[in-house]
Amino acid sequence: MKKFNPAKIIDHTNINPKATAKDIKKTCQEAKKYKFRSVCCNPEWVSLVHNELKGTGIKTVVLIDPPMGLSPHFKRVELCKKAKKEGADELDVVMNIIDMKYERYDDILKDLKEICKILPTKVIIGSGYLTDEEIKKASELVKKAGAFCVKTATEKDPLEHIELKEKARHLRIMKKAAPGLKIKAAGKIRTYKDLLMMVEAGADIIGTSSGVEIMKGYKRRRK
């Protein structure tokens, strides 16, 4: 593997529902210190994150409709448009997992195509809920919808509780199913070793709240 700075691929994440403005500002300060790719937050913090990161080149990313993407279409679009107005650079949108399980592919495409026109979009397919064939199909739908990235999971996906090796296997399915799309891995990626495993499996972007710990591990390895 070529040498690279992991900070450049980390979406430094704080989606804790109990987070305060002070907590979010701390996450932004960490992002500025290590020059992470972005800060990923819940919708209520977009404006604050955007203002904290102004002029740094670090993106503001907003998580939309976790954990299973079950809000009505109009509500999802409304949240995305509001996030754009408040300064978001990218959307991390959860695919409607129930629609996926029931093979309502036209509904999924209609929903995601409109969302993808609002801002550059990563679509979370909730791969821990899906079979291998469903992961493949979901990744194909994400590409067809016009997103730039397909993402494994969010905080309550069952994938959270499985081994990273299984997550890596899911990444390989996603990469093969949707050539040309970026792949984002998220959930329980806590160390530099974890990050390397995900990158080796095909991840282009890493979502984690452990960005600081990962960078400390990276710097120790370089000594």
Residue 99 annotated in active site = no
Q: Which of the residues 122, 182, 184, 194 is marked catalytic? A: 184
CB hemisphere CA count around 94 (13 angstroms) = 26
Residue 193 annotated in active site = no
Residue 151 annotated in active site = yes
**For residue 11, which of 159, 196, 21, 34 has the smallest C-alpha distance?**
34
- The set of long-range contacts for 182-186, using a CB threshold of 8 Å and a minimum separation of 24, is 182/122, 182/148, 182/149, 182/150, 183/149, 183/150, 183/151, 184/11, 184/92, 184/122, 184/149, 184/150, 184/151, 184/152, 185/151, 185/152, 186/11, 186/13, 186/124, 186/151, 186/152, 186/153, 186/154
The encoded tokens of residue 85 equal 């107005």
Q: Which of the residues 92, 99, 111, 157 is marked catalytic? A: 92
Q: Which of the residues 151, 167, 175, 182 is marked catalytic? A: 151
Whole-angstrom distance, CA of residue 105 vs CA of residue 12: 31
Catalytically annotated residues? 92, 151, 184
